[in-house]
Amino acid sequence: MFQISHRVYLIHHPWHRKRNAFTHLYYSIRVLLSQAGRNAYSIYYRELLNVGLLVSEIACKRNQHCFVAIKADDIFPICINIFLIVTTILAKLDTSRWQKIFLILTLAIIALSSLFGSTIYQAGVFGLVSVFPIEYPRALLTGQGISGIFTALANIISLIAIRSSNRSGIAYFISGIALLVLCLIIQHLLEKNAFARYYMEANLEYAIQQKKAIDEDNQASNDSDDEYEHVPFENNRKERLKYAFTKIWPVVCAQFLCFSVTYSIFPGITCRVISVHKRNNSMLTGVLFVPVACFLLFAISNFVGRFISKLIQLPRQDQGILLLFTSFIRIIFIPLLLYCNIHPRNHLPVKIYSDIAYIILVVLIGLSHGYISSLCSVYAPKRVQARLSESAGAMTYFFLATGVNVGTAFSFVLAIIV
């Protein structure tokens, strides 16, 4: 029975599709924006992905126990699908005469879809999967890596097979709708799975009863010592969360740094690098350079990094400070990327005039990001008592989302520096 649960978490992660989608929207605003305007639009696009994420993560943080209830609510994936359908319709229409309205509509849809998808829905999944055995959080992390590869390949195939930017965008968004419908169907299978219900209902029952006094003798006689290990501040949610944070702070801070560094340069800076052989008029060094060298290679290396984390767990679970230091040293990637062949640029000179060097940097960023983020997501729930594991998992996602916001905001600063 556990195979169904495993596959649900493997598939759930639609985030990456939206992060690549802005390239298909350029066609509809081609008259309105200059090249500089398009660069600004791509930054605003990514930042608005995080506006909804920031608002909803704050709301969810105020109620840590909302995550279990959210997982069974179909409204969030349905809303994401509605926004994708509207975007697909807009991509089909001729927007040449009302591009300003189109620009406003797309940015609004981006913020709303991020609100429903990137935090509320996914935080529910992250919090829920933390109550399952360790292979299930790993399945969710694997799904993250696969989704990035799938999205990058869909982008490349649509550019090669459909030369029309308009039709390419439509095909791209339709594939996203199909994937989310599949997630919705599989989620219903999860709710009917006896193995999954065992963990979900046990955790939900605890969430309801935790405000009441706990009879330690009855718990010891009916349940395992590990599951009902004493939790300080049992009846005080705020103090209990503070206690959990004292146990996992090096791990969640490492998660925050990992995503801050990554999203300060990817994709805002990395997608502005052009091939030094662009004049060869080759598709690989032209229109496909960014989709392949930036998005696809990052997605593959990110997935490989997550896979390696299953085989090698270094630093170990009890070496939180070392994990935090490992995440910190990734800051070196920021200045290295800024000296690559980025265009347009106004201040810094090009010091790394090599496609190979750029590709190596992208691969290293992806490998380290996948490896460290996976360790953080798996370690955090395991550093606290079983009854705090869901809160720890949700807290990890909170720091992840905050790191994405901080990194994306810092990409504005880096764009100015370049």
pLDDT digits (tens, 9 = 90+) for 57-80: 555 555 544 444 444 455 666 676
pLDDT given for residue 322 in this prediction: 97
> In sequence order, what are the residues at sequence separation of 6 or more whose Cβ sits closer than 8 angstroms to the Cβ of residue 61?
398
pLDDT given for residue 330 in this prediction: 98
pLDDT given for residue 87 in this prediction: 72
Residue 15 CB-half CA count within 13 A: 24
pLDDT given for residue 217 in this prediction: 43
Using alpha carbons, select from 190, 257, 21 the residue that is nearest to residue 117. 21
Q: Quick one: 209 exposed, middle or buried, by C-beta within 10 A (0-12, 13-18, 19+)? A: exposed
Using alpha carbons, select from 298, 260, 274 the residue that is nearest to residue 413. 260
pLDDT given for residue 105 in this prediction: 79
- For residues 32 and 375, the model is more confident at 375
With a cut of 90, say whether residue 386 has pLDDT above it. Answer: no
pLDDT tens digit string along 288-336?
999 999 999 999 999 999 999 989 999 999 999 999 999 999 999 999 9
Give yes or no for a contact between 124 and 70, defined as CB atoms under 8 angstroms apart: yes
| Distance from the first to the final alpha carbon of the chain | 53
pTM confidence score:
0.74
Using alpha carbons, select from 393, 369, 237, 241 the residue that is nearest to residue 303. 369
Query: pLDDT class for 385, splitting at 50, 70, 90?
Result: confident
Strand partners of residue 352: 340
Q: Can you tell me the mean pLDDT for 237-266?
A: 92
With a cut of 60, say whether residue 52 has pLDDT above it. Answer: no
pLDDT tens digit string along 357-371?
999 999 999 999 999
pLDDT given for residue 220 in this prediction: 46
Structure tokens at 283: 């598709």
Classified as helix, coil or strand, 106 is: helix
Using alpha carbons, select from 397, 400, 398, 386 the residue that is nearest to residue 132. 386
Mean of the per-residue pLDDT values for the chain? Answer: 75
Percentage of the chain exceeding pLDDT 70: 64
With a cut of 90, say whether residue 393 has pLDDT above it. Answer: no
With a cut of 60, say whether residue 37 has pLDDT above it. Answer: no
Choice among 91-105, 339-353, 355-369 with the minimum mean pLDDT: 91-105
Using alpha carbons, select from 280, 305, 318, 308 the residue that is nearest to residue 370. 305
- For residues 142 and 306, the model is more confident at 306
Domains and CATH numbers, the chain: 2-208+237-417 (1.20.1250.20)
Query: Rounded to whole angstroms, what are the CA distances from 227 to 7, 219, 384?
Result: 26, 9, 11
pLDDT given for residue 210 in this prediction: 52
How far apart are alpha carbons 107 and 83 in whole angstroms? 11
How far apart are alpha carbons 331 and 358 in whole angstroms? 16
